Structure 1
């Protein structure tokens, strides 16, 4: 199993965000001001996985799926983005 890309930082995450989220308007309140979980999915949070579900590739840790949490600064709406997806995107660009 591959490890998470350790080089993920706020700058790289923002490039991912800008490419993938063409209209970053909060669907709850209309704000465009977002905050980022500073751990960038390295520590927490994790969504528990059941024994019947497998997640191929990184970042599976003891049956959990690593996430980067992004939240609306105005209303608190939360988006969870798979660290695996971000890492795959970074690996493609670093080739």
Structure 2
């Protein structure tokens, strides 16, 4: 069976556990690839999205996990970006 998913949330946004817990679980379940796609920062603070001040830490954690679990799983990182209007969406320079 070809197991993979590229849409998941960890405790950097509204997920309930650290990213590494999910990576370990997907390896144990036999997934060949896994993607972490936290809710991107918004132009206002929320309790469900990644905070702007945590973006670098989020990206560094994905890099760390990718290196740690290399050879066991293909690991991808991204952000689920909301389109609010012409001033906020995937084309905004922040992303």
Q: Give the structure-1-normalised TM-score.
A: 0.23
Structure with more of its chain in strand, by fraction: 1
Structure with more of its chain in helix, by fraction: 2
